[in-house]
């Protein structure tokens, strides 16, 4: 047996195995969180038989591909094939339209279930280099707000129209190997905070806040998460409330149990220094991959009156963790809270406020006068 032919066949067979690998679009967290465009060049088969003819399609030598289904699927969710745009970048490093690869070079097209051309040779035997076919793939930024990207691999099968006219060893025409392959869109699993404000303050500047106290509520309901997996919310405090007296002095602690976390659809919990789950039902992945979390922090009216009346600064920090069911992916947002009570004082006169003295005789002036005013 001719060893040269044997090893050539082995290498060709290995090449067949290698190039039959899926074409995978690996989306990043940034693509989904910030809705940035995906744009990558990926190998999409190999062109063989540099001296053969192109296969015709309706009398024209269009080089085309199509999807065999109208959607990518990950088993639970689907994405339309049209979400991906493609354009030939080069063949074996040669850009279309040059002397070695003459013909028409179409712009970006959507992948659909009908054949779309990515190169149109001038004629059947137009020059073309043998080698890797490199394709430019895009998912536009405008697509990310309009679809659900759940973590996993979305799959569709792709065919091209340049299969060999016979077996690969007997084919006389140019052909692309493989004639069909699997295309994947790989979506990473993550749950991330998407927050525009991450610190909260409140100022007490009237004694009426303590004579007729109300609940102190911090509204964090503009907090959002971006996620590709069902998400759960946990919360804990980093420590107790720290109080620093006005004008300085030794800081003291107030129990963090005076603080609650609550919100629409959330379970009300008294804060502690250990994580507690706040949502009994997971936040599902939705269109656009963003969910608004209606978190609120509360110190009730009685605690305001009993704990926050001294002039000074009260500070505490809450950690909000968003995670998947197993906790293998998570993201923590630390939120500091500052409450300031100003130095306040007042004199309240009860009963009749006026004090009236009547000096009617000389003795009144000699001995003076006094009055008892009850509850003054």
pLDDT in tens, 289-340: 999 999 999 999 999 999 999 999 999 999 999 999 999 999 999 999 999 9
How would you class 159 by CB atoms within 10 Å of its CB: exposed for 0-12, middle for 13-18, buried for 19 or more? middle
User: Going by DSSP bridges, is the β-strand pair 38-48/131-139 parallel, antiparallel, or unpaired?
Assistant: antiparallel
pLDDT of residue 17: 42
215 pLDDT higher than 80: yes
pLDDT of residue 57: 67
93, 153, 228, 230, 240 from 330: Cα distances, Å: 42, 20, 12, 11, 24
How far is 182 from 324, CA to CA, in rounded Å? 29
% of the chain surpassing 90 pLDDT: 68
pLDDT of residue 280: 83
348 band by pLDDT with thresholds 50, 70 and 90: low
**Tokens 């070695």 — which residue?**
100
pTM above 0.85, yes or no: no
204 band by pLDDT with thresholds 50, 70 and 90: very high
For range 284-289, the mean pLDDT: 96
114 pLDDT higher than 80: yes
Report the range of poorest mean pLDDT among 199-208, 216-225, 257-266, 360-369. 360-369
pLDDT of residue 137: 98
pLDDT of residue 12: 45
23 band by pLDDT with thresholds 50, 70 and 90: very high
Paired with 225 in beta bridges are 193, 291
For range 158-166, the mean pLDDT: 86
């Amino acid at each position: 047996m001719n060893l040269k032919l044997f090893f050539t066949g082995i290498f060709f067979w290995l090449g067949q195995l290698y190039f039959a690998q899926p074409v995978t679009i690996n989306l990043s967290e940034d693509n989904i969180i910030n809705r940035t465009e995906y744009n990558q060049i990926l190998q999409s088969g190999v062109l063989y038989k540099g001296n053969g003819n192109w296969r015709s399609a309706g009398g024209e030598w269009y080089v085309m591909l199509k999807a065999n289904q109208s959607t990518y699927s990950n088993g639970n969710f689907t994405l339309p094939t049209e979400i991906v745009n493609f354009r030939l970048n080069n063949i074996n490093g040669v850009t279309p339209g040059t002397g070695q690869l003459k013909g028409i070079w179409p712009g970006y097209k959507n992948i659909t279930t009908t054949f779309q051309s990515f190169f149109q040779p001038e004629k059947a035997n137009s020059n073309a280099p043998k080698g890797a076919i490199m394709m430019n793939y895009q998912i536009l930024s405008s697509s990310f707000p309009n679809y659900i990207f759940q973590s996993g691999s979305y799959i569709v099968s792709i065919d091209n129209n340049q299969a060999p006219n016979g077996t690969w060893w007997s084919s006389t025409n140019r052909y692309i190997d493989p004639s069909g392959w699997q295309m994947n869109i790989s979506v990473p699993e993550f749950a991330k905070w998407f927050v525009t404000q991450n610190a909260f303050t409140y100022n007490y500047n009237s004694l009426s806040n303590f004579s007729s106290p109300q609940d102190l509520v911090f509204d964090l309901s503009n907090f959002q998460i971006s996620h590709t997996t069902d998400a759960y919310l946990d919360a804990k405090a980093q420590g107790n409330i720290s109080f620093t007296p006005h004008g300085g002095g030794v800081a003291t602690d107030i129990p963090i149990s005076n603080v609650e976390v609550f919100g629409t659809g959330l379970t009300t919990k008294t804060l502690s220094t250990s994580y507690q789950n706040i949502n009994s039902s997971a936040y599902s992945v939705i269109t656009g991959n963003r969910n608004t979390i209606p978190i609120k922090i509360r110190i009730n009216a009685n605690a305001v009156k009993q704990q926050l009346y001294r002039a000074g600064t009260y500070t505490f920090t809450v950690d909000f963790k968003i995670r998947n069911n197993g906790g293998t992916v998570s993201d923590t947002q630390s939120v500091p809270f500052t409450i300031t009570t100003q130095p306040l004082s007042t004199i309240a006169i009860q009963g009749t406020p006026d004090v009236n003295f009547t000096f009617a005789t000389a003795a009144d002036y000699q001995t003076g006068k006094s009055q008892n005013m009850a509850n003054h």
